[in-house]
Chains A and B, each alone.
Chain A
Amino acid sequence: MDGVRVSSEGLQALAAECATVSAQLADVSPSPATGPNSQATSTAVAGGYAALRAVASVLATRVQATGLKLSTAGIGYTASDDDASRRLAALGQSLEV
């Protein structure tokens, strides 16, 4: 494996940014202006807004999932590093005997 450089704090910061963006995506759903019922464009525009809201929800979910993966990754990197550190320390103690 090639070298790995990572900052758990950096990943957590990015995960937090994802959470913020996800909330913004979910929140940005402008209220449509309703046209007269007798005009076909009113229905079409309403349908467009409905599709937009559905896509916004999908995008928000996607970014939220990315954030969770990043957060999990950050925790995992830290746990791995701590674990490796403990193992190395244990190895050092065993050599003292």
Chain B
Amino acid sequence: MMTRRGASRRWVSRSRSEVAGAGGTATPSLSQIVNWDVKHLEQAASDWTMTATQWEGHFGTLHRATMSPGGSAWDGAGADAAQERSFADLVNVRGIADTLREAAAIARRGADELHYLQRNAMSAVAEAEEAGFSVGEDLSVTSRQTGGGPLAEAQRASLAEYHAMNIGARAAELGTADNTVAATISAATAPLSGPHFVEAAIDARPPHNTNGSIQAVDFKEGPPIPDPGLPGDSVGNGGGPTATDIKGVIDKLPEGNKPWIREVRTPQDLENLWKWMRQNGMDVPNGYGDPTKGSVVTLPDGTRVGQRVAAGSNGQPVLDIKLPGENGDVKVHVNPRGGIPEIPPAVRPPAVEAPTRGTAPVEAPPVRGGGFGGGVIPDGTLPRPVHLPEAGDPDLPVIGDGIPDRPDG
């Protein structure tokens, strides 16, 4: 809808005037378009990715150092507790790092999109100016020519209307995209707000019993933390796949319309693939910024796998897979021309001699240190290997079956 303003030669997109009148910034002005900037998004993408890597590096280093403090041997209940604490911290930090990387990816894509839309809007302005029109700060379009009779004037009016509409639409597109990217970044970074480790008070007293005998130093603030993997084993021991396993299966699927899209034949194939991949995963709360959109898990080796209810491109369920060290996500779509994922049979790794543990469980208040994500984490909410029911191996660990998953239980 166009509005003719003041002198008969001036046209402005009505959408622009309405939005501006409402006090919003959905449609930017001419100077805002000209000075549109995406450097803050590009820098955020770079900073957040770098920070995620640094945090993972720090906590990984500390976890390894805890296995052998200062290069010395450390065994006993205190050592076990400290190593579990450092490993739980590492797992938590990996989740945080994934959140940061996801936000960084959104910022990077947003910068590209907004830069493209800005050029689009600028092209529309340039096109109008080349055609003999002036574009005002409010995106109004005015002919620089006069005279020529009623017919020429009508033609100029028609052209002015076209250019005003074109510029207004592209400017609105830019403003809307900016708001959308902003909302997506805010949603992606929201899980970062409020996480706290709950730290028990540090007891500075020497760890003696009243009879003077040596007492194991207690790092625990709660019961032992379920171990999602052996210390030093970055891929966990629950029988779930690693990044390499996943890549092996994904690479065999036929490529879709884009190099980063793979296709499976049916929704059931997609579901099977999802269940297989997520076995060792830890849920990423609100991984898509909206729980109704799907769920995301992070594997111990940093692989991030998400199941979205509907892809933006085709409305079908889709899997998003981010492998460590790879740029961008791989997406798996459903398409009748797709392949059948060659999921390897579940094989439990050979029994591993677990580290020596304390003889008795530690009695402690129902508060756990090492929690992350909005305060105290209730017991039992830390990651456990998730068993694929149809894997058919009764020896695999199953939550709640009461059967110890490891030799030492």
- Pick the residue among B41, B103, B199, B212 that contacts A83 (CB under 8 A): B212
Interfacial chain B residues near A54, Cβ < 8 Å: 192-193
Contact B76 A44 (CB under 8 A): no
Complex: A68 Cα to B25 Cα, angstroms: 51
Q: Which of B127-135, B163-171, B179-187, B384-392 contacts A (4 or more CB under 8 A)?
A: B179-187
Chain A 69-97: CB-based contact to B (< 8 A → 1; otherwise 0): 11011011101110110010000000000
Contact B86 A66 (CB under 8 A): yes
- Pick the residue among B35, B48, B356 that contacts A48 (CB under 8 A): B48
Complex: A95 Cα to B58 Cα, angstroms: 53
Complex: A81 Cα to B214 Cα, angstroms: 7
Dominant SS among interface residues on chain B: helix
Pick from A2, A38, A63, A69 the residue with the most CB of B within 10 Å.
A69
- Pick the residue among B72, B76, B110 that contacts A10 (CB under 8 A): B72
B260 within 8 A of A: no
Q: A7-B69, A14-B65, A41-B182 are in contact. Are A73 and B93 (CB under 8 A)?
A: no
The bracket for how many chain B residues form the interface is: 35 or more
On chain A, the number of residues with a Cβ less than 8 Å from chain B's Cβ atoms is: 62
Dominant SS among interface residues on chain A: helix
Interfacial chain B residues near A40, Cβ < 8 Å: 25, 178-179, 181-183
Contact B25 A10 (CB under 8 A): no
Interfacial chain A residues near B357, Cβ < 8 Å: 2
Contact B206 A25 (CB under 8 A): no
Q: A41-B178, A44-B185 are in contact. Are A33 and B40 (CB under 8 A)?
A: yes
Complex: A68 Cα to B85 Cα, angstroms: 14
Chain B 347-383: CB-based contact to A (< 8 A → 1; otherwise 0): 0000000001111000000000000000000000000
Near A by CB (< 8 A), chain B positions 174-209 give 178-179, 181-183, 185-186, 189-190, 192-193, 195-197, 199, 202-208
Q: A21-B58, A58-B197, A72-B202 are in contact. Are A52 and B192 (CB under 8 A)?
A: yes
Q: A33-B43, A41-B181 are in contact. Are A13 and B70 (CB under 8 A)?
A: yes
Contact A28 B189 (CB under 8 A): no
What residues of chain B have their CB less than 8 Å away from a CB belonging to chain A? 25, 28, 32, 35-41, 43-44, 47-48, 50-51, 54-55, 58-59, 61-62, 65-66, 68-79, 82, 85-86, 89, 93, 96, 100, 103, 107, 110, 114, 178-179, 181-183, 185-186, 189-190, 192-193, 195-197, 199, 202-208, 212-217, 219, 356-359
What residues of chain A have their CB less than 8 Å away from a CB belonging to chain B? 1-7, 9-14, 17-18, 21, 24-25, 28, 30, 32-36, 38-45, 47-49, 51-52, 54-56, 58-59, 61-63, 65-66, 68-70, 72-73, 75-77, 79-81, 83-84, 87
